[in-house]
Structure 1
Amino acid sequence: MNYILLLYLLSISAGAIETINQPKADKISTPSIHRLVSERLASQRYNESFNFINQAKDTIANVEGLSSFYQKLVALRAGQRHRVNVVQIGDSHIQPDIISREVRAGLQDFFGDAGRGLVFPYQVARTNGPLDISSSTSTRWLPSKISYQRAPSVSGISGFGLRKVHGQGLIKLSLKPDLQARQQSFDYIKLFVGQGSWNVRAIGNDVNTYTVNQSTSDGVETKEISLKDFATGFNISPLASAPSFFGASLEKRNNPGVLFHTIGVNGARYEQYNKEPLFWKQLPALNADLYILSMGTNEAFYNGMTEEIYINQVAEMVAKIQTIDPKASILITTTAESFKNGRSNPMIERLNLSLKFYCNKMGIPIWDLFDITGGSGSALAWLKNKLLQADKIHYQQKAYSMQGALLFDALAKGYNEFLSNPTGIPLPELATKTANR
C-alpha cells in the first residue's frame, strides 16, 4: 500500500478528513494590460440562480498546479504561442459534450478558435453524441467502446471504435453550428484509423480526394490531411477489407487559439480507460497541455468499490498521463450527486471525499462539483427543479450547461489569479518580498 493511501485510511478511521479554506490575501497590483485581460475574462458564463448551488465554492483547489497551463494561455494571448490543447476525459456526463462545450466556447471566445477538436461518428456507433455532430453510413459498422465488458474489437482515442467485418462502407460526418450559432469549419484533419488505405473527401469547396495509408498494424500512427479550403464535414471510405475507425481531430491549421478535445463514454470508469492499450498509444497525438478528468458516478454504482480501489485507479491514470508528458497540467473534478435505488447514492460522497484527500496530498488541482452543486442531499433539489432526467442519474441539458459554465468560471478565476501572481509564490510571502526590495 502506498504512503498516500496509508495516510488516507488512517485519517478516515479517525474522522480527520476535512477541507481547509485559507483566507484570501489582498491581490498584488499588476500591470494595466493584465488587469484589462482579467476584467474581460471575468464575465461569467453561469447566470442562473438556484439557492442549492454554492457559487462561493466555484473555485479550483490547489490551483497553483495549473500555473503551467495558465502560462501557456498568457503566451497564446500575447501571440508567442500558436496553440493550447485541452483534453477532457469522462463518462456519460461528458459524452454529450454539453459540459465541455461550455468550457470550449468560453476559452475559444477569449483565446481564439483553433478548431472543433476530436470528433467521432456517434450515430454510426448507435449511441448518443454531441449536439453539433451529425454522422451517417452507407452500411453497418460494428461498434465498440471501452465500457463494454466483452468488446468485439479495440477502442481507440475517442473511447470508441468502429470496424467493418466485410467490404467497404462510407462514413459521413458533418459539423453543425456552435453555441453562438456560427457554422463550424476546419481545413486540417488528423485521422485515427486502423491498418489499410482510406479515401477522404471534404464537404465544401475542396473537391479533391485524399488517400491515406495506415501502414502500422496497431493504428498508433496518425494520418494528417491539409485541405485546400475550409470544410464543414468529410466523407471517409476504407479500401481495406476489415477497416477500423477511431476518430478524427478537426482543426484550423493557421488559426492560433485553443483546441478542446472531448472524450466521453457512457458507463466508463477510470479502470476501463486504464486497461485500453490503444487509447494510451493514441492519446499523445493530442498534445494536451491540460487534462481534465471527470468520472466517479459509475464507480459509485460498481459493486465491491472501495475508496482505496478508487484512488488506486485514479492514481494509475494520473501516472499514465505523467508518463506521456510530465509537464502537462491535470485537473480532476468530483461528480455531482445522483440517485441509486430511489435514494441519494452515499457512495458518491465517500469517493469524492477520498478524491479530495488524495488531490490535496498530491497537490493536484481539483474542482469540487459535488460541493458546488449542493453536496449531500442535493440531488433531490435538482430533481424538484426538473434538472435531473427520469433515471435520476443523468442531468437535463440545461443542468449540464450550467455545470459547464461553472467549470469555465472556475478556470477563468484561476487564470485571473495567475495574472495577479504569476510567480506562484503565496501572495502574503510575495507581498513581503516586494516590500523588502
Structure 2
Amino acid sequence: MNYILLLYLLSISAGAFNIGNNPKEKNTHPKTSVLNTNHRKSAVRRILELRYDDSYPFINPSINAISSVKGLAHFYQKLYELKTGEIKRVSIVQIGDSHIQPDLISREVRSGLQDFFGDAGRGLVFPYQIARTNAPLDIKSSTTTRWQPSNISQLHARSARGISGFSLSRLNGAGNISLSLRPDINSNEQSFDYIKLFLGSGQWSVNTIGTRPNSYSVDQSAITDFTTKEITLDGPVNGFNIRSSGSRPYFFGASLEKKNASGVLLHTIGVNGARYEQYNKEPMFWKQLPALNADLYILSLGTNEAYYNNMTEDLYINQVAETLTKIKTINSKASILITTTAESFKNGRTNPMIERLNLALKFYCNKMGIPVWDLFEITGGSGSSKEWLKSNLMQADKIHYQRKAYSMQGALLFDAIANGYNQYLDSQQSSPSEPLSISIDDLKTANK
C-alpha cells in the first residue's frame, strides 16, 4: 500500500493535518469550547516558566519552535479545557527508540506539563530490569522467576510484543513481577491508585506496595487473546507485586494513574534499536495502543533508520506515512507531532544519512501540514555532533547522548510545546476556529 499517496489524498479531501486555516469553514461542532470573552481571564494563565536554562553556542533556542503548529490545535484545546476544569484528563504518548527508552527526554516534558496542568500519574511503565535492559531512573523491578523478554527490534521474536514495545512471557509455570516507583525528577514521592494492566490470559493476583497494601484478583481465564484489566485501588501506593498461575503468562506493561486527579498523563514507549517499520509490523502493539486514549502522539524515531544500509528517503517516508495512517485509524482527531533526530556518528564520522532523512521528513511534513519539532537544527544541525562530543555531552559510542544532554533536549521540547500553547491561546482569543481532522470514513474512501 502506498501510504504516502493515501495521506496526500486525505490532505486534499479532508483537510488532513491542516487545522483552522480555512476562513470559509463553518463551525459544525458547537460543543467544542473556545476562548470566548468569558474565558479571557483564564486565557492569561499562560505557561510562563520554561525549562531550558543552559547556554551552549551550538544550541539555538531562538529557532526552538514547532512548524505547522496549527496541527496541534486539538491537543492545545484539550489542554485549555483541562486548565479551565471542563475535562479531567489529557493523555500524551511518545513513541521512540533508544533515545526515548530511558525516559530522560519525556520526563522533562511530563514534569513541565504536570507542574502547570496537574499530575494524573506516571503513565505507562514496564519492568525493564527483568527484561535485562536499561530502565528509566524512577522504575525499579525484580523477580524470583525467570521470564523470557522480547521487544519489537528483535528480528526473530517468538512472542507478541505489546503496548510497551516489549513483552515478558514464560513457557510454563507461575511467574512473579515486582515493580515500584522511585521519586520523580523533582525528588517527589510518586504514587498511584489506579492500574491499567496489559496482560495475557490466566489467573493473576496483584498485591500493592505502600502504606496501604491490599490484594486484588484478576481473572483472565476466559480470555483467549491479550487484553487490558483495570483495577481501582483502595488508596495510593507506590508499587505492586503481580503473580500469574497460568500455563503461559504474558505481561506487556501497566499504566499507573491517579484516578480522580485532574491532569496530564505522558506515556513513554521507547525500545532500543527500534524503527518505524518495526512498530508498524507488530499487531499487538496497535491492538493495545488505543487503551491509552492519547490526545497527542509524539513520534521520535529515525536514528536507526539512518544506520540501516538499505534505507532510502522514499522508503523512510513511506514507513512514517504508514505509522501516521495507523494512528489516525485509532483516533482521527488526535494530534501528531514528529521530531527530527539529532546528529550522531557512524563508523567514526558524522552520519550524513541522518541529515538526508531529516530533510525528507521535513519536506513531507511541510507538504502535509504535519507539525514538526526540528531537534536536528535546534541542536546545531550538520556537524553539531562534534560539538556535543567536545562538550562531553555524548557517550563513548558517539550515537547516544549523556543524561544531561537528554535532559536539555527534553527541556527544549517542553519549551516548544509550551510556546505553541501560548500562541494557541492568543490566536483563539482573536479568531477562534474549529480543528479539522481525518475521519475513519476518509481513510476508507482514500484507500479505495
TM-score, normalised to structure 2, is: 0.87
- Which amino acid in 1 is paired with 2:225? D
Q: Which residue of 2 aligns with 1:50?
A: 56
Contact 1:120 1:158 in 2 (8 A): yes
Q: 1:114 to 1:307 in 2, by over 3 A?
A: same
Distance 1:87 1:142 in 2: 26
Q: 1:383 aligns with which of 389, 399, 406?
A: 389
Distance 1:350 1:139 in 2: 46
Q: Trace 1:339-418 onto structure 2 (pairs within 5 A).
A: 339-418=345-424
Distance 2:49 2:262 in 1: 22
Q: Which residue of 1 aligns with 2:224?
A: 217
Q: Verify: 1:168 aligned to 2:187, yes or no.
A: no
The superposition leaves residues 213-268 of structure 1 with CA deviations (integer Å, 9 ceiling, x where unpaired) of 2233221x310101101000000000101100000000001000001100000000
Classify the secondary structure of the residue corresponding to 1:73.
helix
TM-score, normalised to structure 1, is: 0.89
Q: Which residue of 2 aligns with 1:36?
A: 44
Distance 1:290 1:204 in 2: 32
Query: Share of identical aligned residues, percent?
Result: 67
Q: 1:2 to 1:423 in 2, by over 3 A?
A: farther
Distance 2:3 2:112 in 1: 39
CA displacement at 1:269 relative to structure 2: 0.1
Q: Which residue of 2 aligns with 1:24?
A: none
Contact 1:155 1:278 in 2 (8 A): yes
Q: Which residue of 1 aligns with 2:97?
A: 91
Q: 1:162 to 1:424 in 2, by over 3 A?
A: farther
Q: 1:256 to 1:159 in 2, by over 3 A?
A: same
- Which amino acid in 2 is paired with 1:329? S
The superposition leaves residues 164-195 of structure 1 with CA deviations (integer Å, 9 ceiling, x where unpaired) of 12211210001000111110000000000011
Classify the secondary structure of the residue corresponding to 1:86.
strand
Unpaired runs of 5+ in structure 1?
9-28, 428-437
Matched residue count: 404
Contact 1:67 1:424 in 2 (8 A): no
Classify the secondary structure of the residue corresponding to 1:282.
helix
Contact 2:120 2:262 in 1 (8 A): yes
The superposition leaves residues 192-214 of structure 1 with CA deviations (integer Å, 9 ceiling, x where unpaired) of 00111100010023333211122
Distance 2:4 2:148 in 1: 42
Q: 1:42 to 1:416 in 2, by over 3 A?
A: same
Q: Which residue of 1 aligns with 2:77?
A: 71
Q: Which residue of 1 aligns with 2:17?
A: none
Q: 1:122 aligns with which of 128, 134, 140?
A: 128
Q: Which residue of 1 aligns with 2:159?
A: 153
Q: Which residue of 2 aligns with 1:263?
A: 269
Q: 1:159 to 1:366 in 2, by over 3 A?
A: same
Contact 2:79 2:117 in 1 (8 A): yes
Q: 2:299 aligns with which of 283, 293, 296?
A: 293
- Which amino acid in 2 is paired with 1:66? L
Q: 1:426 to 1:234 in 2, by over 3 A?
A: closer
The superposition leaves residues 50-81 of structure 1 with CA deviations (integer Å, 9 ceiling, x where unpaired) of 01001111000000000010000000000100
Unpaired runs of 5+ in structure 2?
9-35, 434-448
Q: Which residue of 2 aligns with 1:304?
A: 310
RMSD: 2.0
- Which amino acid in 2 is paired with 1:99? I
CA displacement at 1:344 relative to structure 2: 0.4
